[in-house]
Amino acid sequence: MDDAVSMSGLFIKKGPVVQIKDGAGRTDVLSDNDPRVVYQGPLVVLVNSLSASASEILAAALQDYGRAVIVGGPSTFGKGTVQIVADLDQYLPRQLAGVKPSGSLRLTIKKFYRVSGGSTQWKGVTADISLPDLYSYLGIQEKTMDYSLPWDTTSPVSYKRWTSEKYNLDLVKKNSASRVKASKAFKLIVEDIARLRKQKEDSKESLRFSSFLAKQKFLKEEADQLQNLPVDEPSYIRIVRPKVDKENPTNPNYQKNKEWLKQISKDAYVDEAWHILADMAR
């Protein structure tokens, strides 16, 4: 949570970022008090239906401030609550010391609210520009969980919206929709979402080993296809390492990071985010 507030503060001058209310109705406001802004240009935040908790705080704050355009699945996960883990051993009387360890309880004690007043619980953060969400077929969000707390609101707090950016969001949306509709990569993603949803709903499994092998082969081919989506046009994205990141081949994370940079340089969602940024900058 603190990291979400700090990261939000990198892109706004200063002000409240998130409200936190406990069961007694007491509300705390976490704010960025540093007026410095590390980047003042067009900003996009990519999300999907599994973006949850702190990532929703960041997306919600930058959306409320009008600082960023939220791009991705129709809505994020919707986890807007705070939990603690209570060690039950601490509450046992001395005469019951023999039953230790007695386990722990995970307790929900508080709820997150946007600076505009609405909770991120249940509803999550609605994307400004919606893209096909590869994880939507799972149907897993906070609102689908048993006994999850419902969405509600609290009083908004005073904050100053970002006014430096001048772009036509409706036009940016229209341009994005046209690109996605014509995209070979997103066409395959949409088809795969439909296939995965159908597969999830179909509980029948063949007991024939040959059928099992054929299905596994098909699933691998589908997965490989998603890993190697067609490029609609040459990518103009160049991943730049921060100067503070020194390349160290002996670092165990070096190869993993190198592969990650390679993947996002040809990622359909990252590529569309780049086009959206370009439209915002025009």
Residue 250: is its pLDDT beyond 80? Answer: no
pLDDT band at 266 (very low <50, low <70, confident <90, very high): confident
pTM: 0.88
Residue 33: is its pLDDT beyond 90? Answer: yes
Q: Which amino acid is present at 21?
A: K
Domains of the chain, with CATH numbers? 1-165 (3.90.226.10), 166-282 (no CATH)
- Based on the number of CB atoms within 10 Å of its own CB, is 197 exposed (0-12), middle (13-18) or buried (19 or more)? middle
How confident is the model at residue 22, as a pLDDT? 96
**How are beta strands 104-113 and 15-22 bridged, if at all?**
antiparallel
pLDDT digits (tens, 9 = 90+) for 85-121: 999 999 999 888 888 899 999 999 999 999 999 999 9
| 221 three-class SS | helix
pLDDT digits (tens, 9 = 90+) for 136-177: 888 899 999 999 999 999 999 999 999 887 899 999 999 999
Our answer to whether residue 235 is catalytic in this structure is no
pLDDT band at 182 (very low <50, low <70, confident <90, very high): very high
How confident is the model at residue 247, as a pLDDT? 67
Ramachandran region, residue 222 (left: φ > 0; alpha: ψ -120 to 50; beta: rest)? alpha
Least Cα distance to 81 among 113, 49, 47 occurs for 113
Beta bridge partners, 47, equal 72
How confident is the model at residue 229, as a pLDDT? 76
Query: Cβ(18)–Cβ(4) under 8 Å?
Result: yes
Residue 264: is its pLDDT beyond 60? Answer: yes
pLDDT band at 11 (very low <50, low <70, confident <90, very high): very high
How confident is the model at residue 19, as a pLDDT? 98
How confident is the model at residue 49, as a pLDDT? 96
pLDDT band at 274 (very low <50, low <70, confident <90, very high): very high
Q: Which amino acid is present at 90?
A: Q
How confident is the model at residue 137, as a pLDDT? 87
More reliable by pLDDT, 265 or 30: 30
Q: How far apart are CA 244 and CA 261, in angstroms?
A: 16
Residue 228: is its pLDDT beyond 90? Answer: no
pLDDT digits (tens, 9 = 90+) for 184-196: 999 999 999 998 8
Beta bridge partners, 113, equal 19, 119
More reliable by pLDDT, 270 or 254: 270
Spatial neighbors of 72 by CB under 8 A, at least 6 apart, are 46, 47, 48, 51, 127, 130, 131, 133, 269
Q: Which of the residues 51, 79, 123, 133 is marked catalytic?
A: 79
Our answer to whether residue 211 is catalytic in this structure is no
Beta bridge partners, 15, equal 32
Averaged pLDDT score across all residues of the chain: 91
Our answer to whether residue 173 is catalytic in this structure is no
How confident is the model at residue 221, as a pLDDT? 85
Residue 244: is its pLDDT beyond 60? Answer: no
Query: Cβ(173)–Cβ(167) under 8 Å?
Result: no
Q: How far apart are CA 256 and CA 98, in angstroms?
A: 46
More reliable by pLDDT, 219 or 127: 127
Q: Which of the residues 8, 32, 64, 75 is marked catalytic?
A: 64
Residue 53: is its pLDDT beyond 70? Answer: yes
Q: How far apart are CA 126 and CA 154, in angstroms?
A: 18
**Average of per-residue pLDDT across 7-31:** 97
Residue 45: is its pLDDT beyond 70? Answer: yes
% of the chain exceeding 70 in pLDDT: 94
